[in-house]
Amino acid sequence: MAHTQGDTHGRLILHRAKQYVRVTRRKKPKYYVRHADMHPLANAPFVDNSYKFAGGGIVSTASDIAGLAHHCILGDFFKPHIKRLMLEETTYTQDIPDPQNPGFYLFIFLKKKRIYISEEKKTGYGKIGWRVVYDHKKRLKLAGHSGGACGGTSHVVVIPDEELVVCILINMRANPQICYEIAQLFSEKEILRWVPFRNKQN
Protein backbone atom coordinates (compact mmCIF):
# COMPACT_ATOMS: atom_id res chain seq x y z
CA MET A 1 0.00 0.00 0.00
CA ALA A 2 2.91 2.34 -0.76
CA HIS A 3 0.78 4.59 -2.98
CA THR A 4 -2.34 4.78 -0.81
CA GLN A 5 -3.24 7.79 1.31
CA GLY A 6 -6.17 9.77 2.60
CA ASP A 7 -7.88 12.05 0.08
CA THR A 8 -7.55 15.29 2.02
CA HIS A 9 -8.54 18.62 0.52
CA GLY A 10 -5.63 20.72 -0.66
CA ARG A 11 -3.07 17.94 -1.05
CA LEU A 12 -1.45 17.80 -4.50
CA ILE A 13 -1.04 14.23 -5.74
CA LEU A 14 1.38 13.54 -8.57
CA HIS A 15 -0.13 11.92 -11.70
CA ARG A 16 -3.67 12.06 -10.31
CA ALA A 17 -6.26 11.69 -13.09
CA LYS A 18 -8.83 14.37 -13.77
CA GLN A 19 -12.37 13.27 -12.87
CA TYR A 20 -15.43 13.58 -15.11
CA VAL A 21 -19.19 13.09 -15.11
CA ARG A 22 -21.86 12.78 -17.80
CA VAL A 23 -24.25 15.73 -18.09
CA THR A 24 -27.90 15.33 -19.07
CA ARG A 25 -30.16 17.93 -20.66
CA ARG A 26 -30.99 19.25 -17.22
CA LYS A 27 -27.30 20.13 -16.78
CA LYS A 28 -27.05 17.93 -13.72
CA PRO A 29 -24.30 15.31 -13.47
CA LYS A 30 -25.46 11.71 -13.28
CA TYR A 31 -23.60 8.61 -12.16
CA TYR A 32 -25.15 6.05 -14.51
CA VAL A 33 -26.95 7.09 -17.68
CA ARG A 34 -28.32 5.09 -20.56
CA HIS A 35 -26.67 5.65 -23.93
CA ALA A 36 -23.75 7.35 -22.19
CA ASP A 37 -22.08 8.29 -25.48
CA MET A 38 -25.01 10.66 -26.18
CA HIS A 39 -24.30 12.75 -23.06
CA PRO A 40 -21.33 15.14 -23.05
CA LEU A 41 -18.54 14.91 -20.52
CA ALA A 42 -18.02 17.63 -17.91
CA ASN A 43 -15.60 18.19 -15.08
CA ALA A 44 -16.76 16.53 -11.88
CA PRO A 45 -17.85 18.95 -9.14
CA PHE A 46 -15.65 19.32 -6.09
CA VAL A 47 -16.20 16.79 -3.30
CA ASP A 48 -14.27 16.70 -0.04
CA ASN A 49 -13.84 12.95 0.52
CA SER A 50 -12.23 13.37 3.92
CA TYR A 51 -15.70 13.16 5.52
CA LYS A 52 -15.85 9.40 4.86
CA PHE A 53 -12.46 8.15 6.01
CA ALA A 54 -14.25 5.53 8.13
CA GLY A 55 -15.57 3.82 4.98
CA GLY A 56 -13.24 4.99 2.23
CA GLY A 57 -12.20 8.43 1.05
CA ILE A 58 -8.70 7.35 0.06
CA VAL A 59 -6.53 7.73 -3.03
CA SER A 60 -4.86 4.56 -4.25
CA THR A 61 -3.62 2.64 -7.28
CA ALA A 62 -4.97 -0.48 -8.96
CA SER A 63 -1.93 -2.51 -7.87
CA ASP A 64 -2.33 -1.47 -4.22
CA ILE A 65 -6.04 -2.37 -4.19
CA ALA A 66 -5.43 -5.69 -5.96
CA GLY A 67 -2.70 -6.52 -3.46
CA LEU A 68 -4.98 -5.73 -0.52
CA ALA A 69 -7.79 -7.86 -1.99
CA HIS A 70 -5.35 -10.73 -2.52
CA HIS A 71 -4.20 -10.63 1.11
CA CYS A 72 -7.78 -10.28 2.43
CA ILE A 73 -9.36 -13.10 0.41
CA LEU A 74 -6.48 -15.40 -0.57
CA GLY A 75 -3.82 -14.58 2.00
CA ASP A 76 -3.48 -14.60 5.77
CA PHE A 77 -4.14 -10.91 6.43
CA PHE A 78 -7.12 -11.93 8.61
CA LYS A 79 -7.46 -14.89 10.93
CA PRO A 80 -9.57 -17.73 9.45
CA HIS A 81 -12.62 -17.13 11.66
CA ILE A 82 -12.57 -13.40 10.84
CA LYS A 83 -12.37 -14.17 7.12
CA ARG A 84 -15.30 -16.59 7.35
CA LEU A 85 -17.36 -13.98 9.18
CA MET A 86 -16.42 -11.29 6.65
CA LEU A 87 -17.42 -13.41 3.64
CA GLU A 88 -20.49 -15.07 5.14
CA GLU A 89 -23.46 -14.18 2.95
CA THR A 90 -26.14 -12.16 4.71
CA THR A 91 -29.85 -12.85 4.42
CA TYR A 92 -33.08 -10.99 5.04
CA THR A 93 -36.66 -12.04 5.69
CA GLN A 94 -39.41 -11.02 3.29
CA ASP A 95 -43.14 -11.55 3.70
CA ILE A 96 -44.73 -13.11 0.60
CA PRO A 97 -48.32 -14.26 -0.11
CA ASP A 98 -48.96 -17.85 0.94
CA PRO A 99 -50.77 -19.70 -1.90
CA GLN A 100 -51.04 -22.83 0.28
CA ASN A 101 -53.42 -21.08 2.66
CA PRO A 102 -57.08 -21.93 1.79
CA GLY A 103 -58.15 -18.35 2.33
CA PHE A 104 -55.46 -16.85 0.13
CA TYR A 105 -57.43 -16.65 -3.13
CA LEU A 106 -60.58 -15.55 -1.31
CA PHE A 107 -58.69 -12.65 0.23
CA ILE A 108 -57.38 -11.64 -3.20
CA PHE A 109 -60.88 -11.80 -4.71
CA LEU A 110 -62.33 -9.64 -1.94
CA LYS A 111 -59.31 -7.30 -2.16
CA LYS A 112 -58.73 -7.60 1.54
CA LYS A 113 -55.52 -8.05 3.46
CA ARG A 114 -53.58 -11.02 2.12
CA ILE A 115 -52.18 -13.85 4.17
CA TYR A 116 -48.39 -13.87 4.18
CA ILE A 117 -45.58 -16.21 5.06
CA SER A 118 -41.96 -15.32 5.79
CA GLU A 119 -39.26 -16.32 3.32
CA GLU A 120 -35.53 -15.98 3.86
CA LYS A 121 -33.63 -14.52 0.91
CA LYS A 122 -29.93 -14.05 0.25
CA THR A 123 -28.49 -10.59 -0.38
CA GLY A 124 -25.41 -11.60 -2.39
CA TYR A 125 -23.19 -9.62 -0.01
CA GLY A 126 -20.93 -10.58 2.88
CA LYS A 127 -21.09 -8.97 6.28
CA ILE A 128 -18.42 -6.36 5.50
CA GLY A 129 -19.45 -5.22 2.04
CA TRP A 130 -17.90 -7.89 -0.20
CA ARG A 131 -20.13 -9.13 -2.99
CA VAL A 132 -20.00 -12.92 -2.74
CA VAL A 133 -21.12 -15.82 -4.92
CA TYR A 134 -21.15 -19.41 -3.62
CA ASP A 135 -21.65 -22.72 -5.42
CA HIS A 136 -24.02 -25.52 -4.39
CA LYS A 137 -21.34 -26.90 -2.05
CA LYS A 138 -21.09 -23.52 -0.31
CA ARG A 139 -17.61 -22.86 -1.68
CA LEU A 140 -16.74 -19.27 -2.49
CA LYS A 141 -16.64 -18.77 -6.26
CA LEU A 142 -16.27 -15.00 -6.41
CA ALA A 143 -15.72 -12.02 -4.15
CA GLY A 144 -15.89 -8.43 -5.34
CA HIS A 145 -16.14 -4.91 -4.07
CA SER A 146 -16.72 -1.49 -5.59
CA GLY A 147 -16.45 2.06 -4.43
CA GLY A 148 -16.44 5.56 -5.75
CA ALA A 149 -17.13 9.23 -5.39
CA CYS A 150 -18.30 11.94 -7.72
CA GLY A 151 -16.17 11.44 -10.83
CA GLY A 152 -14.36 8.27 -9.81
CA THR A 153 -14.97 4.53 -9.56
CA SER A 154 -13.00 1.52 -8.35
CA HIS A 155 -13.84 -2.16 -8.79
CA VAL A 156 -12.03 -5.30 -7.67
CA VAL A 157 -12.97 -8.95 -8.20
CA VAL A 158 -11.31 -12.09 -6.79
CA ILE A 159 -11.70 -15.64 -8.15
CA PRO A 160 -10.30 -17.84 -5.33
CA ASP A 161 -10.11 -21.14 -7.28
CA GLU A 162 -7.82 -19.56 -9.88
CA GLU A 163 -6.10 -17.09 -7.51
CA LEU A 164 -7.15 -14.37 -9.93
CA VAL A 165 -7.49 -10.74 -8.84
CA VAL A 166 -8.61 -7.95 -11.20
CA CYS A 167 -8.84 -4.29 -10.20
CA ILE A 168 -9.74 -1.27 -12.31
CA LEU A 169 -9.84 2.44 -11.55
CA ILE A 170 -11.95 4.72 -13.75
CA ASN A 171 -11.90 8.52 -13.64
CA MET A 172 -15.70 8.73 -13.89
CA ARG A 173 -18.67 6.81 -12.52
CA ALA A 174 -19.07 3.54 -14.43
CA ASN A 175 -20.88 0.23 -14.24
CA PRO A 176 -18.92 -2.55 -12.45
CA GLN A 177 -19.66 -5.00 -15.26
CA ILE A 178 -16.48 -4.00 -17.09
CA CYS A 179 -14.35 -5.40 -14.25
CA TYR A 180 -16.07 -8.78 -14.50
CA GLU A 181 -15.70 -8.73 -18.28
CA ILE A 182 -11.94 -8.22 -17.91
CA ALA A 183 -11.77 -11.05 -15.36
CA GLN A 184 -13.64 -13.27 -17.82
CA LEU A 185 -10.80 -12.84 -20.33
CA PHE A 186 -8.40 -14.53 -17.91
CA SER A 187 -10.75 -17.16 -16.51
CA GLU A 188 -12.24 -20.37 -17.86
CA LYS A 189 -15.25 -20.03 -15.56
CA GLU A 190 -18.54 -18.37 -16.51
CA ILE A 191 -18.06 -15.30 -14.36
CA LEU A 192 -20.59 -13.11 -16.17
CA ARG A 193 -23.36 -15.61 -15.39
CA TRP A 194 -22.68 -15.44 -11.65
CA VAL A 195 -23.37 -11.74 -11.14
CA PRO A 196 -26.55 -10.10 -12.52
CA PHE A 197 -26.38 -6.51 -13.70
CA ARG A 198 -29.30 -4.11 -13.64
CA ASN A 199 -27.76 -1.57 -15.98
CA LYS A 200 -25.48 -2.73 -18.78
CA GLN A 201 -24.83 0.77 -20.09
CA ASN A 202 -21.50 2.31 -19.03
- 141-182, pLDDT tens digit by residue? 888 888 877 888 889 999 988 899 999 998 887 777 888 888
| In the predicted structure, residue 200 carries a pLDDT above the cut 50 | no
Strands (E), 36-124: 41-43, 58-59, 91-97, 116-122
pLDDT of residue 131: 86
Q: With pLDDT > 90 as the criterion, what percentage of the chain qualifies?
A: 8
Tens digit of pLDDT for each residue in 42-78? 888 888 877 777 667 788 889 999 999 999 889 988 8
SS3 label, residue 127: coil
**29-34: average pLDDT:** 49
Total-model pTM: 0.73
Q: Which of 2-11, 112-121, 122-131 has the lowest mean pLDDT?
A: 112-121
Residues 176 and 155: beta-carbon distance below 8 Å: yes
Averaging pLDDT over each range in 64-73, 120-129, 134-143, which range is the top one?
Answer: 64-73
Amino acid at 22: R
Residues 148 and 20: beta-carbon distance below 8 Å: no
pLDDT of residue 88: 87
95 vs 93: CA distance, rounded Å:
7
48 vs 9: CA distance, rounded Å:
6
**104-124: average pLDDT:** 59
Tens digit of pLDDT for each residue in 179-199? 888 888 988 888 877 776 544
